[in-house]
Amino acid sequence: MEHKKISIEEMGTFCKRKGFVYPDSEIYGGIAGFYDFGHLGVEMKNNIKQSWWQTFVKQRDDVVGIDATIINHPQVWKASGHADGFTDVLVDCKKCGSRFRADHLIEDKLKIHTAGMSIEDMSKAIREKKLKCQKCGNDSLGEPKRFNLMFSTIVGPVEDSAAISYLRPETAQLMFTNFRLVQENARMKLPFGIAQIGKAFRNEISPRDFLFRMREFELMEIEYFVHPEKYDECPYADEILDFEMNVYSEEMQQHDKKFEKMTIKHALEKKIIKTKWHAYWMVQMHKWYTNLGVNPDHFRIRQHVKDELSHYALDTWDLEYEFPFGWKELQGFANRTDFDLKNHIEHSKSDLSLFDEEGKKKIIPHVICEPAQGVERAFLVFMFDAHYYDKKRENIVLKLHPKIAPVKLGVFPLVSNKDEVVAKAKEIHKKLLKDFTCTFDTSGSIGRRYARADETGVVACITIDFDTLNDDSVTIRDRDTTKQSRVKIDELHDVLNRIIHEDDKSIFK
Ligand code: GAP
């Protein structure tokens, strides 16, 4: 069975055909940058979020979660710097009125990296290389200008400027505005983190690449706070020193070198990664993916070059994945320092500092690392990495990890015209539904039903046949190998628990 490389457009078609993702309001022609999740997509997205929450919140004693609102006091976004600085550079066509993201236009046409490029240099590149409008083809592009990505809205019945607020462009700020309450109520001691999963909205100039760049998406973020004088006191450092990653530092990028595989120990010793905490969180997120079956060779960590850094960041790395359209950001890890807490203290006049018992003074904690990733980009990674084609079976096999697969089990009566067999299969299906996401399929040949299940990542299929009526046994078939095993109905639950919850497929050996 071979890993099948498909384009992002083919992925969009596949997701629509199988019931994972649909363009939003498609009956009216759709709306760019908005997508709806179908019956399989919603299950898979929930599985991704649950696994993340379980790993990074529930199973840790140093991280707690919150769930804040999407619309907030407008001062939040003034203090955070988003009202003034959360911009992309757009360029519009004076002839046809189309608008483009200047960096994307330059990257597409000139095949160069634009990370860190100033607005003046973009203007120069467009003029000197005589770039044309991508829509009408005319030499009519205007001057690049900044465009704020926040969606604004009116709160309440009076439409005046005081009523203008924004749909949050990130969940992070609400971890800062609630910082003191969470710290006090959950009695957290530094170092600790606050996590959140929720919707974010960005009025992207040119949403593209299916779920990769959307206008409404979901974020999974952690703000990890440390004592400002204890930047490098990471109690977990020893656990990660031997871990290997593909590393692409600022220096490597500046000298047009390739990324290198190295241990964390090496990266820290050579000061490529500056703090242990930063390294620690990148390893945790990398491991989260690989523990869920994604190939480690498809990842690298890339440091932001100086001019690319966000307005709040001292040092940022991205976990990148090799998508069919190139290495792209999957998740950011910014060192936000005390930028946000300080700004909220200044704007709100609230005390968000902590009292340091040891030093007997007030301190403002630093966010040493902010692991922040989009749920939909994670969704794409799992889908691309799991996409296999089996020549023998002549169908796609979506080899999703059992924790991520939207449907765990398929229950099939071998023959659909024998009432006793169908009734027995229904009885088994009903029982399994209590503990597993599980479909029931009677239509077409058994081979066709297996193929349909393979293509949507169903982990195991259970077939009920004539013998079941006599020996109280069923056949379980493994998606990845097609191996089969006969199991007593009494033992079915335990066996399936091992396959689905423990990824233990020894029954098929
Ligand atoms: N609080 C930090 C923050 O929001 P970011 O790099 O702007 O950082 C974090 O966004 C992650 O959100 C990205 O790594 C990406 O996974 C996801 N993301 C950002 N913009 C997106 C978009 N337009 N569509 C889908 N996902 C997006």
pLDDT digits (tens, 9 = 90+) for 199-211: 999 999 999 999 9
pTM equals: 0.95
Residues 331, 220: Cα–Cα separation, whole Å: 9
Residue 434 exposure: Cα atoms within 13 Å on the Cβ side: 5
> Which whole-number Å values give the CA distances from 328 to 79, 257, 266, 283, 323, in the listed order?
30, 17, 24, 18, 7
CB distance 284 to ligand 1 below 6 Å = no
Give the pLDDT score at 7: 97
Round to the nearest angstrom and report the end-to-end CA distance of the chain.
19
Nearest ligand 1 atom to alpha carbon 378 = 16
Give the pLDDT score at 313: 85
CB distance 336 to ligand 1 below 6 Å = no
C-alpha dihedral, 247 to 249 to 251 to 254, nearest 10°: 100
Q: How confident is the model at residue 112 (pLDDT cuts 50, 70, 90)?
A: confident
Give the pLDDT score at 500: 95
Residues 325, 107: Cα–Cα separation, whole Å: 12
Residues 171, 222: Cα–Cα separation, whole Å: 9
Contact (CB, 8 A) for 264 and 279: yes
**Above pLDDT 70, what percent of the chain?**
100
For residue 450, the CA-to-ligand 1 centroid distance in Å is 37
State which of 221, 377, 382 you would mutate to test the pocket of ligand 1, scoring each by most atoms of that ligand within 8 A of its C-beta: 377
Q: What is the mean pLDDT of residues 334-350?
A: 97
State which of 48, 87, 170 you would mutate to test the pocket of ligand 1, scoring each by most atoms of that ligand within 8 A of its C-beta: 170
Give the pLDDT score at 141: 95
For residue 102, the CA-to-ligand 1 centroid distance in Å is 19
Residue 27 CB neighbours (<10 A): 6
Q: How confident is the model at residue 89 (pLDDT cuts 50, 70, 90)?
A: very high
Q: Is the pLDDT of residue 311 over 90?
A: no
Q: Pick 79 or 416 by higher pLDDT.
A: 79
CB distance 171 to ligand 1 below 6 Å = no
Closest CA to ligand 1's atom 4? 170
Give the pLDDT score at 176: 98
Give the pLDDT score at 161: 83
Widest distance between CA atoms in the chain: 81
Q: How confident is the model at residue 73 (pLDDT cuts 50, 70, 90)?
A: very high
Q: CA geometry: angle at 41 spanning 286 and 449, to 5°? A: 110
Burial grade of 40 (CB within 10 A; 0-12, 13-18, 19 or more): buried
Closest CA to ligand 1's atom 27? 374
Q: What is the pLDDT of residues 441-457, one digit of tens each?
A: 999 999 999 999 999 99
Contact (CB, 8 A) for 139 and 95: no
H or E, element range at 470: helix 466-471
Q: What is the pLDDT of residues 178-225, one digit of tens each?
A: 999 999 999 999 999 999 999 999 999 999 999 999 999 999 999 999
CB distance 217 to ligand 1 below 6 Å = yes
Sign of CA dihedral 244, 250, 253, 255: negative
Closest CA to ligand 1's atom 21? 213
Closest CA to ligand 1's atom 6? 332
